[in-house]
Amino acid sequence: MTTIETPAATGQVTLHLSDDGLVATLTVDRAAKLNALTLPMLDELEHRLDDVEASAARVVLVRTGGSKVFCVGADIAAFSRLSAPDMWRRWIAEGHRVFNRLAGLRQPTVAVVDGLAVGGGLELALSCDLRLASRSARFGLPENGLGTIPGWGGTERLTRLVGPSRAKQLILTRRQIDATTAEQWGLVNDVAVDELDAEVDRYVTDILGSAPIAQQASKQLVDAAAAGAPSAVVEALASGFTSYTDDFAEGVRAFLAKDTPQFHDR
C-alpha cells in the first residue's frame, strides 16, 4: 500500500495504491470548502497523475474528500480576483491541461460521485471514462448565473455524452438533475442501488478481469472514434498490435482450455 499526499492548506490531493498496486485512488480533498478547486490543487492533481502514469495500476478511481458533496467546482473567490488575461492564460488553460491529462490516462478511470457535482466538479467527473453515482448525487453547470461559461471542457465533454439539446438544457437553465435523470441521459453509467462502494467494487472487479493492454487500446480507440478517426484503420492497427502480446496468447489459451486467464500486462 502506497499513499502520496500534498499539503492541506489549499486542498490536498492524495494518491493511494492498493496492496497489489492494481487500483489507484486519487482523492481531491478540500472538504471544508466543499472540495472547491484552486490552481494549486490542479497543479498537485497533475503531479499525482504523473505518479499514476508511472505506476502499474490498471484502474483509477477519482474520489473527493468529505461526504455528500463530490465537488462544487472552481473556487469562485480565487478566480474572481484574476484579470481577464490571467483567466485566459492560467485558470482556463490549466484546467484544460490537467483534465485532458486525466482523460488521456492509459488506464480506465472511474469517477465516484456521492452528492453534488457542479461546475468544475462535474467537469472533473466528465474527464473520467466512467461515472458511478450514489442516489443522492446531483449534477449541474451553473456558470451562466455567474456571468461566465463552463470553462474546463464541460461544453465539449457533456455534449458528447448527452447531445447538444440536453447540454444546452443543463447549461442555459442552470437546473440540477438527479442521479436517475443523469443515468437516463447517459451522463452516469450506473446509480448504486445500495452502497456506492459496493457498486464501485463490482466495476473494479470487472475491469481487472480483462487484458490490460487490450483494455487500454480499446479506450484509445473509442476516444479516437469520438474524434472522427476511421475504425477500419485504427482497429486494424490495434488488433495487429494486441495479437503480439503475451496476454492475447493467454486469453486464447484460457478460452480453448475453458480456464480463467491470468493476464500480466505484457
Cβ–Cβ < 8 Å for 183, 93: no
Q: State the Cα–Cα distance between residues 266 and 264, nearest whole angstrom.
A: 6
DSSP-assigned letter for residue 89 = I
Burial class (CB in 10 A: 0-12, 13-18, 19+), 240: exposed
Q: Locate cell 486469453: which residue?
A: 251
- What letter would DSSP give residue 128? S
Kindly write down the DSSP assignment for every residue of 90-109, as one continuous string: IIIHHHHHHHHHHHT-SS-E
Catalytic residues: 123, 143
